[in-house]
Amino acid sequence: MTVHIDEMTRTAEPPRWWWWAAVIAVTIMLMLLPSYLKISQINGISKLFPLGLLAVSMGFMWGFAGMLSFGQTSFFGLGGYIYAVLSLYSGETSWPLIAAILLPMLFALLLGYFMIYGRISDIYFSVVTLVVTLILEKAIRSTSGDQYTVLGVRLNGQNGIPTVPSLQLPVEFKTELHAIFYLAAGMLVLVYVGLRLLLTTKFGRALAGIRENPRRMELLGYDVRRYRLGVFVLCSGIAALAGVLRAVWGNYVGPQMFDLNQAGQVVIWVIVGGRTTLLGPIVGAGGVQYLAAWLGTQAVGQISLILGLVLMLVVLVFSQGLLPSLGIAFAYARDHLILRRKI
């Protein structure tokens, strides 16, 4: 518990110069990276950025507000479908992008209001978001008939909506894949920096207290429900943005975006990477997806079984996630070295 509180305290402090230097270095590296990669590699890496955003939306809500939700894939799918329908209907992409983020946030506001202000327990919060995900998935899968259209756009049920338009950007890039790479990478960096700075505000510091002891924060005069609702809406918007980017990346949206398996994977990414850090969920998503892809290229059977065993081992060895555990090991080694020098 002490380690967790220390981690929350550090994230509530303003970022130091070396953090900004690291962010700038990573940004420059991402800008230069496509020049040294093959098209297939650019395509594969571009796919990871929306998944990283989805993982961050889950990790921030769970790790910093104590809210375990299985509904992030609901907003992920809604963002993708809303963008697909509106962009195909209008022939534009700018305002459909904005609508695809705001409408899921409005849905999250209504859903979250009844859950959070209804004071349901944390376990029932998780169950309700799980049920909403199942309902949306079943609803989308049952729209195979010609009569199921929205603004003249067929939903196509199991087959999804193909030919989703790419975003019309003011800057021209070498190829469309380069544009998607830079757009998705830029959004991931901006969201990461924005959430990190949010944690240094009064809102962020209150989240740290709510995560550890919501009753005490209520006694201190904080409206815990308002803070949690704000986090739920914010993270739904991030998940919706991830859904739009995934739709643009594949020029396709389908019911698998709502899939319960996908919802479970997001939780695994956060657990593996570490839910007490913002970077942990991104590392977890990238690491797990890379491991799954690598196992697929090795012609081994039962990939899911092998992947599950590996993930169980990681969770058992690194109980707090990879990044927090590595941070603890580094701090221990540093303190031990300092102690030896003093002796």
CA-to-CA distance for 304 and 292, rounded, in angstroms? 8
**pLDDT, position 10:** 60
Beta strands in the chain (DSSP E): 149-150, 153-154, 161-162, 252-253
pLDDT of amino acid 5: 45
List residues bridging with 252 in a β-sheet: 162
Q: Which pair of tokens denotes residue 215?
A: 């009753």
10 vs 324: CA distance, rounded Å: 12
Is 130 strand, coil or helix?
helix
Report the alpha-carbon distance of residue 281 to residue 231 in Å, rounded. 17
* Total residues found in the chain within this entry: 343
pLDDT tens-place string over residues 177-215 = 889 999 999 999 999 999 999 999 989 888 888 888 888
**pLDDT in 10s for each residue of the chain, 343 residues:** 444 444 555 666 788 889 999 999 999 999 999 988 888 889 889 999 999 999 999 999 998 888 999 989 999 999 999 999 999 999 899 999 999 999 999 999 999 999 999 888 888 999 999 999 999 999 999 998 888 888 988 999 889 999 899 888 877 777 788 899 999 999 999 999 999 999 999 898 888 888 888 888 888 888 899 999 999 999 999 999 999 999 999 899 999 999 888 888 898 899 888 888 899 999 989 988 888 877 777 666 667 777 778 778 877 877 777 888 777 777 777 777 777 776 6
* Model pLDDT, residue 3: 42
CB 206 within 8 A of CB 228: no
Q: Nearest Cα to 88, choosing from 252, 315, 290? A: 252
Side-chain-facing half-sphere of 166: CA atoms under 13 Å? 16
* Nearest to 111, CA basis, from 123, 136, 92, 128: 128
Report residue 183 as tokens.
Answer: 């757009």
The rounded distance, in Å, linking the Cα atoms of 155 and 84 is 10
Single out the residue of 153, 185, 156, 224 nearest to residue 42, CA to CA: 185
Tokens of 118: 């209804």
Radius of gyration of the chain measured on its C-alpha atoms: 21
pLDDT, residue 116, reads: 92
Distance CA 300, CA 222 (A): 53
Yes or no: say if 88 and 97 are a contact pair by the CB < 8 Å rule.
no
Using DSSP, how many helices (H) and how many strands (E) does the chain show? 14, 4
Residue with tokens 């002490």, as numbered in its chain: 2
CA distance 225 to 223: 5
Q: Degrees (nearest 5) of the Cα angle 279, 285, 288?
A: 130
Q: If you average pLDDT over every residue of the chain, what do you get?
A: 87
What pLDDT is stored for residue 207 in this prediction? Answer: 87
Q: Single out the residue of 118, 340, 82 nearest to residue 229, CA to CA.
A: 118
